[in-house]
Structure 1
């Protein structure tokens, strides 16, 4: 029979630690139930009684008692059997189970524990011992409730983080598309010569940038940039730099200088790198820096003016497939004040190519830790010398990825310029 003082609550309700503990007393002896109930009520517990294990199971389906005190030996279902079924019932929180028994053999005690009992009380029940057992149970229940609360908080936090992560993932996916859109053209023909670009970030967004822009009817600018890092900050900086070297807005391109005749000329490559270095340090005020290589190509003579700022060496590939590394290295841009950058030059003969590549290629790492570097690049490029345009760059990427066993940890980018003789009708 249920104590009228006990208030039913939904099984999923969060336990109130300031509320009185509920105790279900199960015994087929009415006298034993009354004695226990009186002791428990005086100690501040809300008590419910059941005359059998079967009745107790029905009560447990209506509410979840915090503590169950059940006799072992009862008519019908025993306390041990009741304990097993009690443990099988779904509950929002843990229920502490105490068996009343006169049994003291180790085998019997082990059976009770295996059935799910938490503690034992010897009959007849001593009031002080009863309170001590209940206090022990109360400590365990408090710890269980606290653990449950923290797990709920953790679960809630993880759900929030998952939502945030999904939002970031969507933003990064859009950022990747926007970053790829910075390279509006991946290929263009300039008379008899051709430019092809490759840009493959290793993550959602990257710090590499490649591009080209016409300087005037005779000349074209090519560039490769690698911003330090691979995250959002690097991607934002590449977007800023893409605006500085815009091919669609010559008036905003800092590499172009309008002459007195109304014709754009290219800024000297060394001066361009020096200007960018000052611009990054003075105006951007960021901890990021970048490496770059920039080439000003004469489409008629094949002369190329270049600057290298910490970027891998530009590569000139001759008709026979052999390569020549150009430049002396130079300092990264935006790292050291008053850094100076020197212009150097080469001349492309018809059929020769110029390759500007990021360190995602030269520093690709094999499983044994060996970097590709220029020596490995030499033989790789020679085997690809019969390929052109996108076919060349795709094959180069596949070769580099294969060298690294598919584990490319840096962005891979390249500018591939093929000089096939003087441009005609250059005004």
Structure 2
């Protein structure tokens, strides 16, 4: 699956910067059993998230959707939206990009806003894997936490969705790993699949450098190419 990255400083507030505003915008084909927007919604026990298991070629359509969303965010062109409020941005994107107008494609997203002046990171997720926040503890060892907001559906699948926003304090030296599911949805020799937690534990115990993580994932995958795009962005505060 394709992923898009980008940094956009706010022109009116140079101390505030959106962290990869689409650090992992991942277009996905709709599941055959998804009802159209406006139809009766599936039960909460049938989340869009389960469509991660259904792969299809991305092609030009996915690339065009990624580019369109990135351009909207880069130009701050969603009407009446405060781009410093991640939950508002995701709700507006959901209404601006309904999947029936995008060749039945929705997308997932992790959206973050870093305020240097307040030393905070606000974030919201729409059907996307958590980002990993790393901080050195007093004993010198890193501690990892997963940054995710629960209940946020993939963007474009259903109308009138609301999203949750959370915020954490960031300190100098903190690191953030923003990733696609292709970084961990890899089967090992025993048939088990890696998880975000496995990746976080490796980053704490060994290295959070993307190149090192890639080599580790490749070693678990064995011979041949990885089954999905490996997209990983490391940010140091």
> Normalising to structure 1: TM-score of the pair?
0.43
8 Å CA contact retained: 2:99, 2:156: no
Aligned partner of 2:8 in structure 1 is 213
8 Å CA contact retained: 1:210, 1:414: no
Report deviation, 1:285: 4.1
1:236 counterpart (36, 42, 64): 64
Residues 1:339 and 1:256: Cα distance change in structure 2 (over 3 Å): closer
Aligned partner of 2:170 in structure 1 is 348
* 2:232 equivalent to 1:414: yes
Aligned partner of 1:370 in structure 2 is 192
1:253 counterpart (55, 76, 79): 76
The CA RMSD measured in Å over matched residues stands at: 2.3
Report SS of the residue matched to 2:17.
Answer: strand
2:123 counterpart (287, 297, 306): 306
Cα distance in structure 2, aligned partners of 1:394 and 1:315: 16
Report deviation, 1:286: 2.8
8 Å CA contact retained: 2:129, 2:180: yes
8 Å CA contact retained: 2:132, 2:200: no
Residues 1:279 and 1:256: Cα distance change in structure 2 (over 3 Å): closer
* Bigger RCO of structures 1 and 2 (CA < 8 A, at least 6 apart): 2
Report deviation, 1:395: 1.5
8 Å CA contact retained: 1:364, 1:404: yes
Report deviation, 1:325: 0.9
* 2:44 equivalent to 1:227: no
Report deviation, 1:282: 7.9
8 Å CA contact retained: 1:280, 1:286: no
For residues 15-414 of structure 1, the aligned pairs below 5 Å read 206-215=1-10, 216-222=13-19, 223-224=22-23, 225-228=25-28, 229=56, 230-246=58-74, 252-254=75-77, 266-281=83-98, 284-319=101-136, 320-329=141-150, 330-385=152-207, 392-406=209-223, 407-414=225-232
Cα distance in structure 2, aligned partners of 1:344 and 1:315: 14
Unaligned runs of 5+ in 1: 1-205, 247-251, 259-264, 420-427
Alpha-carbon displacement from aligned partner over 1:80-121 (angstroms, at most 9, x marks no partner): xxxxxxxxxxxxxxxxxxxxxxxxxxxxxxxxxxxxxxxxxx
Alpha-carbon displacement from aligned partner over 1:35-77 (angstroms, at most 9, x marks no partner): xxxxxxxxxxxxxxxxxxxxxxxxxxxxxxxxxxxxxxxxxxx
Cα distance in structure 2, aligned partners of 1:257 and 1:220: 19
Report deviation, 1:208: 1.2
Cα distance in structure 1, aligned partners of 2:14 and 2:61: 36
Cα distance in structure 2, aligned partners of 1:239 and 1:373: 28
Unaligned runs of 5+ in 2: 29-55
Alpha-carbon displacement from aligned partner over 1:304-332 (angstroms, at most 9, x marks no partner): 11011111012111113221012234211
Report SS of the residue matched to 1:209.
Answer: coil
Aligned partner of 2:38 in structure 1 is none
Larger radius of gyration: 1
Task: List, as ranges, runs of 4+ consecutive aligned residues in structure 1 with deviation greater than 4 Å.
Answer: 255-258
8 Å CA contact retained: 1:269, 1:306: yes
Alpha-carbon displacement from aligned partner over 1:258-278 (angstroms, at most 9, x marks no partner): 9xxxxxx63410010000000
8 Å CA contact retained: 2:65, 2:102: no
Q: Which has the higher helix share?
A: 1
Cα distance in structure 2, aligned partners of 1:285 and 1:416: 30
